A and B are shown apart, each in its own frame.
Chain A
């Protein structure tokens, strides 16, 4: 059979199935609604007919059975009760699965005859024909349905563009003849007229482009309804399975969002809803005991808020208990004791967003699959949305998602860094500040600045990206930093300068660059060159890993008028190397690094260092051997050597001293004080 007909059938079947499912759920609430029953009858009938036309016997047979049942209901022969609606739902599920298999070109996933037989016997509950919720990964497809009117309007605007182009061509000719007729020196009046004409054309061009852009963007938008349609059913089935009573109210289903956004929203909603039913909502008797209505309520409400859409998912369940969350987080090693003590209650709630966290004590069939809100969080970051949680113990939980309306155009701050321009979505930007060298403080080896009393970690975008450091900034003694906000966290990121903000068109990097750390996409600047759009959550994630921003160090380097000594740091680990180097440099020492013993030997041959700091375990020559060889060299017989190692046994220390080292520092107890003190005591 031709694929074209199958496509049409699949789309039609999907529509009828959706209205069947929706209708049956409504029927449960309005059992006497004869109009509704008739509508459902029509759905089943059409499905049956179309399926039969294409020879899909299974679908046709199940639809036929539903049709019979609905007819009995319409005639009043059969009561509209729970068991009847269950049969209808099971039936439409079965069709849905048959159609789904068809779409993928797979054989029917179950035996239709057996299913119908079971349906006749009334054994509907035991039949597992539904795919488990959340596992179906259906996209919104890569086709767009557009109103003919919209297309006409776009074609019309394109026509206007062509006319406008002709007008601009005319202007070029005008200018040419103006120059020719006036012998190269047109009068002010003539030039003024030309200027006005040209300006008018450009203004009109701008108008057409805006209109066209708007129309094209609107084609990407779909109502929230597109994804919430199945939610009633999901909540109904879930709560029933757990003996809970839940009513789902969806508000603002008509609000339109970019289709790509909607696609990524669906799994998030599924997750939040299952979470709410599973963990949030109490069984009816417990609720009544607490003076609540036995039937719980979950609401999803969406509304516009400025340029973004805000969606709130609220339940009136038991709420999140900060103490329990803290305990669970500690137990699972998500946080340590120190961190636990520092966290405020409203911060504790956000621990549920961390990977590896799941509060459900027992793993249930429904949501406790070891994935938690962190999945929601991750998906949200991908679409540049934010998530906030409010919860009161005993009263319920409220999760607020804030989403951009469209992914295609965002408001962004442009910054310059090491010769490149980067765009940062303003939704993440708190402010830009000037940081003076004296504002930078080192806390625990990391650099921070104080912003109105709040300590904010400072990182250099250039260092983070491995780009050459901005030396020019140091001359003024000030650096520009963009303060970024991600949920409750702040991060100050130094850049060369900020270049203003504006709307940018977001472009993907294409499938050669599927996922690039730090980069969300790119935009095209006025000069025609691309600028990368930064992925702010990545900046936060990697800022924690960097040992130093290099600024305080650079400032210090600059300030140190005299070099206290020339040191060679030998370590095969880049982290250790960089850390040691930055500590020493910031205290006025000139530091060279070597990545191995061999490298060190090469470097000492060409330069006289005042002190050598070396690791022990390295590929090739180890630290002990290096010390021994240095001792054998005439220039290095008396140069102090410090061994820094993770080997902590006395035997190793003795070995180091035997090899000729002056001092031995164990990495475990390694902090900048020890190293500095040791260096200072050896060479001052």
Chain B
């Protein structure tokens, strides 16, 4: 205690500041809560895609992926996520995107689904951004209906187009499940 006083510590002042910041923060959140969607943005097929951060558990560098024989191309392999065996998927074919190899910027976004955790391979992760949900418009990409099924919409931002994935639908898609019955 004495030490702090000597250093000119004013604990009351600091606490007050913190409290003010807290309330300001709360106000800010309240103002925007209705229209903002916190999303992780990443690059696929050279385009920018996004989905809600609540689904993203973590982002990893791409580890060694162990190939599973005779499964759909989409399932690139499995990796060890702290003792759990998790699949890594290249979802680009589902979205009609070209498949270039994943470079050093390539990452896996681990996604928590209802039934399983899975990894989505991306060319790079751009960051976490709050996107205004109301400004999204229907995705106008020239896509087949099947591909469009996985998209919720798109948004023109100053630095480019962001396409919002329907991650829930993607996780529920039979295409990503291996069941040789």
**Residues of chain A at the chain B interface (Cβ within 8 Å):** 420, 464-467, 507-519, 521-522, 524, 528-532
- A512 & B178 in contact (Cβ 8 Å cutoff): yes
- 6 A-B pairs besides A467-B69, A507-B84, A515-B178 with CB distance below 8 A are A508-B85, A510-B86, A510-B117, A514-B178, A528-B80, A529-B64
- Residues of chain A contacted by B181 (CB below 8 angstroms): 515
- Residues of chain B contacted by A507 (CB below 8 angstroms): 83-85
A-contact bits for B67-94, CB 8 A (1 contact / 0 none): 1111100010011100111110000000
- Residues of chain B contacted by A516 (CB below 8 angstroms): 68, 70-71, 178, 180
Please tell me if B66 contacts chain A, counting CB pairs below 8 Å. yes
Given A509-B85, A514-B177, A530-B85, A519 contacting B117 (CB threshold 8 A): no
Size range of the chain B interface in the assembly:
20 to 34
- Residues of chain B contacted by A531 (CB below 8 angstroms): 66
Please tell me if B115 contacts chain A, counting CB pairs below 8 Å. yes
Minimum CB–CB distance from A516 to chain B (whole Å) comes to 5
- B80 & A513 in contact (Cβ 8 Å cutoff): no
| CA A467 to CA B177, docked complex, whole Å | 21
| CA A511 to CA B78, docked complex, whole Å | 13
Residues 105 to 128 of chain B near chain A (Cβ within 8 Å): 115-118
- Residues of chain B contacted by A511 (CB below 8 angstroms): 115-116, 177
Given A524-B83, A528-B80, A531-B66, A515 contacting B180 (CB threshold 8 A): yes
User: How many residue pairs at the A-B interface have CB separations less than 8 Å?
Assistant: 79
- Residues of chain A contacted by B177 (CB below 8 angstroms): 511-514
- Residues of chain A contacted by B115 (CB below 8 angstroms): 511-512
- Residues of chain B contacted by A466 (CB below 8 angstroms): 69-70
Given A510-B86, A512-B176, A515-B180, A465 contacting B78 (CB threshold 8 A): no
Interface core residue of A515, A516, A530 (most chain B CB under 10 Å): A530
Minimum CB–CB distance from A142 to chain B (whole Å) comes to 15
Partner of B78, one of A509, A515, A528: A509
Minimum CB–CB distance from B133 to chain A (whole Å) comes to 29
Partner of A420, one of B67, B79, B87, B178: B67
Please tell me if B179 contacts chain A, counting CB pairs below 8 Å. yes
| CA A522 to CA B87, docked complex, whole Å | 12
Closest to B77 in A: A530
Given A466-B70, A530-B85, A532-B68, A512 contacting B118 (CB threshold 8 A): yes
Closest to A528 in B: B80
Closest to B176 in A: A512
- Residues of chain A contacted by B180 (CB below 8 angstroms): 515-517
Closest to A421 in B: B66
Closest to A508 in B: B85
- Residues of chain B contacted by A509 (CB below 8 angstroms): 78, 85, 87
Closest to A525 in B: B80
- A513 & B178 in contact (Cβ 8 Å cutoff): yes
Partner of B70, one of A515, A517, A530: A517
- A510 & B85 in contact (Cβ 8 Å cutoff): yes
Closest to A527 in B: B64
- Residues of chain A contacted by B64 (CB below 8 angstroms): 529
Closest to B70 in A: A517
Closest to A542 in B: B70
- B179 & A530 in contact (Cβ 8 Å cutoff): no
| CA A625 to CA B83, docked complex, whole Å | 58
Sample (23) of A-B pairs whose CB atoms are under 8 Å apart: A465-B70, A467-B67, A467-B69, A507-B84, A508-B85, A509-B85, A509-B87, A510-B85, A511-B115, A511-B116, A512-B87, A513-B68, A513-B87, A515-B181, A516-B70, A516-B178, A522-B78, A524-B80, A524-B83, A528-B80, A529-B66, A530-B79, A532-B66
A-contact bits for B140-181, CB 8 A (1 contact / 0 none): 000000000000000000000000000000000000111111
